[in-house]
Structure 1
Amino acid sequence: MKAYMQRMGRSLMLPVAVLPAASLLVGIANWIVGMGVSNAGTTFLMNAGLAILNHLALLFAVGLALGMSKDKDGSAALAGLVAYLVPQTVLASESVQGLLGLEKLSDVNPAFSTMDNNVFIGIIAGLTAAAMYNRFSQVKLPMALSFFSGKRLVPIMSALAMLVISAILLFIWPSVYDVLVAFGKGISRLGFVGAGLYGFFNRLLIPTGLHHALNSVFWFGVAGINDIGNFLAGQQALDSGQAIVGQTGMYQAGFFPVMMFGLPAGALAIYQCARPEKKKQTASLMLAAAFASFFTGVTEPLEFSFMFVAWPLYVLHAVFTGISLAVSAFFHWTAGFAFSAGFVDYFLSLKNPVANQPLMLLVQGAVFAVIYYFGFRFAIQKFNLMTPGREETAGEETPDIATGDDKFAVLATQIYQALGGKENVRVIDNCTTRLRLQVQDTDKVDQEKIKQTGVPGVKVIDKTNIQVVVGTQVQFVADEMSRLQQGGTNTGESVAKPMIVEEKEEKTTLPEEQLAVYAPSKGELIPISEVADPVFSEKMMGDGFAVLPEANEVFAPISGTILNVFPTKHAIGIQTDNGLEVLLHMGINTVDLKGEPFTLYVEEGQRIARGQLIAVVDLEMLEKAGKKSDMIVVFTNGAAVKELAIRSNALVQANEVVGQIKG
């Protein structure tokens, strides 16, 4: 759990990093408006800052989904966005009205109004999306649903999971909210003690978003207190008897010493407790967050930096906040805010007739700066709290190494180690069937060890480039190798015993009768041994044939289902109803062209018939790029094929029978 919370805290640093700048924009706009100037410039600054602050929950959902995913893939971030949008829509007041069959929108429990930009929902959505990514990003669905396999499945599962969570919250959230409102009304009768309890729970509930329930009691009109409204009304509220000097503002004043002095002092303590090698990085974060807290009263950048990685420190912060509100309420020192308890609103409060001895809040702030500094410093050092800059570095951010249950992860680990690990591997890429690798020195590669894994072949290109033939599932192996590369695994010397990928007996069987195979295009039919690529000519991928095309159209050589379409469009995998796997590879080394010469008319999971147009290839573009245009057909699970008979070299028409295959 400790490691999980630390990862969560680190993941929040990505969205938190943008908050100080947004806070400053809002603070500057409020400052200018407070001086009586309101124009397009102030509106622009205000909206620019609020564009970030009003979508804090969304930023948390995306940031957590990305940071908590096992390989920091962008599809996890997309899943976080999807996961967040589900409860935002399902639990919106208008939606709840329809779901519960209420006649009027006003009948909807006010609890659901807190769902908008709710940080708790953002956190739950982000963690859910990350969990779905880690669980389903490599799941392979049955053939009919294969289009939705892997990373495409993650947003779907995230949406379903959040739909279930939304259904639960639909009934639980109002009850929790109502309990907190009732609790707030109860403690509002306790004077300065009630103010202290409010301050404590206000901070403590921020991670859940339920602090709004208490705010509605003390700051607004739910219980008739309306502390913010009556304070801002100034002399008018005094004349009407709605405001009382020394009392109105008691639920706001205590936040000024905390946000202007206490938290910045706590940030200094966090910086000084950071490791020497991380102090520079910690200083930049703490300085920006502390200034945002002091100047604008926006504390999220600072609070969320330690809220999860050092939650006992956050509880201590909540205690200090409660004490601050109790002290200011006890002495009847009051001030108020329209935005938050930063310097801008404090300065504006000085002119408000409802404020009472507001300068004493500066004295209180100086005292609380000392309390926060020494309190934070003691807690961090005494309990070894992992505040920013103190995170454990050993194995940090290292993804889980492959387990024996995942054959692709095991195979990737073996190949990666044989290549020389991080010390030798430079670039990991792949085409349809092979890993295309750049290494520091191919002489350091243990080719025999790679061949022992059972891969079809290894091809050294030059001193720094090598290719490993894996097969049509090469993408999964490449993904695992990329994870190893990011994790910093060195060489295979650290592995005590080699991991062997279990070679299961090929169970694919074909009917005894012969199946006809058709030419994918018009041109010269040649045996696969004449293809100018040893991976194919040496039958590393299996037996087959090729056509040197004279026309741009490419047709299906056999009926079946599209198994996969490579992102660069140069290769298509087909599986027949009987389990025969066929790879149609258009051109040689055409993966380098990034799909430009190819127009495809099929997609993964689609049923196709023999002779159906599946692609158009710009042969002229291939020629200009110096690429051979061979249309190569390979039967990749050839162990299940008893006999393959292909005609001798001849000119053929598209969709003409060129051979027979027998199981």
Structure 2
Amino acid sequence: MMQKIQRFGGAMFTPVLLFAFAGICIGVGTLFTTEAIMGGMAAPTHIWYQCWNIILQGGWTVFNQLPLLFAVSLPIGLAKKQNARACMEALVLFLTFHYFLSTILAQWGSTFGVDFSQDVGGTSGLTMIANIKTLDMGMIGALMISGIVIYIHNRFYDTKLPEWLGTFNGSTFVVMIGFFVMIPVAIISAWLWPMVQGAMTAFQGFVVTTGNFGVWVFIFLERLLIPFGLHHLLYSPFFYDNAVVTGGMYSAWANMLPTLAASSESLKSLAPQFGFTLTGMSKMFGCPGIALAFYATAKSEKKKRVLGLLIPITLTAVMCGVTEPIEFTFLFIAPALYVVHCILAATLATVAYMAGVVGIFSGGAIECAALNWIPLMSSHWSTYLIQFAIGIAFTGIYFIVFRTLILKFNFATPGREIDEDEDVKFYSKKEFREKKGMRTSSGNDLAYVEMILEGLGGAENIEDVTNCVTRLRVTVKDETIVKDDKYFKQIGTHGLAAKGKSMQVIIGLTVASVRDDFEKLLAA
């Protein structure tokens, strides 16, 4: 079950990768179309506004169609064969489901306690998906339908029909089965989901009333679940669905940007619920403190090499919000430090929230600038000055706490390895191949992927493979023949996280291309 949950969490990241660019478009577009910032140039009749409004509306594509996006993207990571066709099947059946649901509610809405004559949005519980007026089931509904389609696809795609029915093979057969499955699913949804919406409303009230303590617990758990690959399941209902605000916190914040930019009131008074998205505070300010502590405690003869390791992985955390490379340098050799990191991250976010910092700060500096600093700096610069003051103070706190604990307990963090002969710098792929008598090729770097596959026990030991934003997630048949973490670091990865038969090879931001080559080797 854990392996399936981790695989699902990795698949969830596929559409999330689009958010950074969409956020930049919205942030810049909002900046240049806000009259409080641009003056008369941002009037709707001005050519400046009209040109930038095109960019702004295009940027909304991802956020306005989140359920559709998640429904179509999930098969990329979870379909066991013909992923592209599975995505098409998911699209068709997701729309079919909502046409069924829309018709059921239009005809018998009162039977299910739904007033289908209401306008979409607000407290009506209704929304528009691909121009279909339907029940607002958010991301949960999208994942439910996509999950059903993926099951049908994996089970029936290869079914061979008689030759005279050959035109119905493959995707057509999957859609045929799904068509009739969607009818009872739509009926059950019409009956059950209004009750779920009522429960969600109550839960939203509970979360909002937890205040500072709720923010602390949420951030702490988000960090703590990263090694297990389960953090996506914690934050996704908050960020992209209706757990706190209608439509998800990302979408709601982006919608609020013009109002926030035009107001001089404090951001916290305007959007008090946006403290749960402060997960990025530790990425921008905590990770540099960790890196400084590693450098300061490294042995003098290894400091230069440690610096070469820490600079790129720290910049990845600060700018892109991807923390696995730096966190996995100490997670397994000093797990107590990781728990301390979780506590400090939660405390940093909570202190910032108490000081009035709210907004979309779950990613790195690029995302934060696009959705916060750029569009809102003019009217809320004092809030961001406080944010940076608190963040820099916690960089120092992180440094002091980590340095003290590393020295006190003699943790073998980078540059302090117990084995004096072990080089702190992870072997580059080229160096390792030369050591093994291999050379890089001018084409695809398949030797690197071959070594990953070898470390996992070979093609015959692979059950399935997927990936998230930085990790190659593999389920193996026999975990006892998988090589250790040191081997994977030596070949150029950031290490291996193993739990039972579930293996996560920490690759970095190039993991998608590595997975492609990995699957080519499996198919060879």
Tell me which residue corresponds to 1:71.
81
Identity of aligned residues (%): 19
Tell me which residue corresponds to 2:379.
352
Q: Mapping of 1:568-583 within 5 angstroms?
A: none
Cα distance change on mapping 1:85 and 1:70 into 2, 3 Å: same
Q: Mapping of 1:47-446 within 5 angstroms?
A: 47-91=57-101, 96-101=105-110, 105-106=117-118, 110-113=124-127, 118-141=138-161, 145-186=165-206, 188-189=208-209, 191-193=211-213, 196=216, 206-208=235-237, 211-216=241-246, 234-235=263-264, 247-252=269-274, 255=277, 258-259=279-280, 262=283, 291=319, 323=347, 326-330=350-354, 332-334=355-357, 342-344=368-370, 345-352=372-379, 357-366=383-392, 393-394=456-457
Cα distance change on mapping 1:45 and 1:167 into 2, 3 Å: same
1:214 Cα deviation (Å)?
1.9
Report the Cα distance in structure 1 between the residues aligned to 2:197 and 2:343, rounded to whole angstroms. 22
Contact 1:29 1:46 in 2 (8 A): yes
Whether 2:40 is the aligned partner of 1:31: answer no
Give the aligned residue type for 1:98: Q
Cα distance change on mapping 1:76 and 1:218 into 2, 3 Å: closer
Tell me which residue corresponds to 1:438.
none
Give the aligned residue type for 2:244: L
Give the aligned residue type for 2:389: V
Tell me which residue corresponds to 1:22.
22
Give the aligned residue type for 2:175: P
1:343 Cα deviation (Å)?
2.3
Query: Structure 1 length as normaliser, TM-score?
Result: 0.41
Report the Cα distance in structure 1 between the residues aligned to 2:198 and 2:22, rounded to whole angstroms. 33
Higher relative contact order (Cα pairs below 8 Å, separated by 6+ residues): 2
1:153 Cα deviation (Å)?
0.5
Tell me which residue corresponds to 1:449.
none
Contact 1:196 1:325 in 2 (8 A): yes
1:175 Cα deviation (Å)?
2.3
Report the Cα distance in structure 1 between the residues aligned to 2:179 and 2:314, rounded to whole angstroms. 35
Contact 2:207 2:244 in 1 (8 A): no
Contact 2:75 2:146 in 1 (8 A): yes
Cα distance change on mapping 1:151 and 1:33 into 2, 3 Å: closer
Give the aligned residue type for 1:182: A
- Higher deviation after alignment, 137-146 or 168-177: 137-146
Q: Mapping of 1:539-578 within 5 angstroms?
A: none
1:129 Cα deviation (Å)?
2.2
Contact 1:138 1:151 in 2 (8 A): no
1:228 Cα deviation (Å)?
8.4
Counterpart secondary structure, 2:242: helix
Q: Deviations over 1:208-258 (max 9, x none)?
A: 478424225999xxxxxx9989866635xxxxxxx67975544336745x3
Report the Cα distance in structure 2 between the residues aligned to 1:252 and 1:49, rounded to whole angstroms. 21
Contact 1:333 1:358 in 2 (8 A): no
Give the aligned residue type for 1:262: K
Counterpart secondary structure, 1:106: coil
Cα distance change on mapping 1:217 and 1:56 into 2, 3 Å: closer
Residue from 446, 466, 488 that aligns with 2:522: 488
Contact 1:111 1:177 in 2 (8 A): yes
Q: Deviations over 1:113-171 (max 9, x none)?
A: 49669333333333322221221112234677554234320122234444443333323
Report the Cα distance in structure 2 between the residues aligned to 1:29 and 1:152, rounded to whole angstroms. 42
Report the Cα distance in structure 2 between the residues aligned to 1:53 and 1:322, rounded to whole angstroms. 27
Give the aligned residue type for 2:117: L
More helix by share: 2
Report the Cα distance in structure 2 between the residues aligned to 1:245 and 1:13, rounded to whole angstroms. 29
Larger Rg: 1
Number of aligned positions between the proteins: 357
Report the Cα distance in structure 2 between the residues aligned to 1:369 and 1:397, rounded to whole angstroms. 46
Contact 1:250 1:334 in 2 (8 A): no
Tell me which residue corresponds to 1:582.
none
Give the aligned residue type for 1:138: D
Cα distance change on mapping 1:347 and 1:255 into 2, 3 Å: farther
Contact 1:198 1:214 in 2 (8 A): no
Contact 1:56 1:117 in 2 (8 A): no
Superposed CA RMSD: 5.7
Counterpart secondary structure, 2:60: helix
Query: Structure 2 length as normaliser, TM-score?
Result: 0.50
Cα distance change on mapping 1:6 and 1:78 into 2, 3 Å: same
Report the Cα distance in structure 1 between the residues aligned to 2:248 and 2:73, rounded to whole angstroms. 32
Give the aligned residue type for 1:165: V
Structure 2: state its 5+ residue gaps: 43-47, 129-134, 223-231, 250-254, 295-310, 332-338, 407-411, 414-448, 465-518
Q: Deviations over 1:18-77 (max 9, x none)?
A: 443333322332333354154333223223322234334333333322432222353222
Report the Cα distance in structure 1 between the residues aligned to 2:117 and 2:341, rounded to whole angstroms. 38
Tell me which residue corresponds to 2:336.
none
1:291 Cα deviation (Å)?
4.2
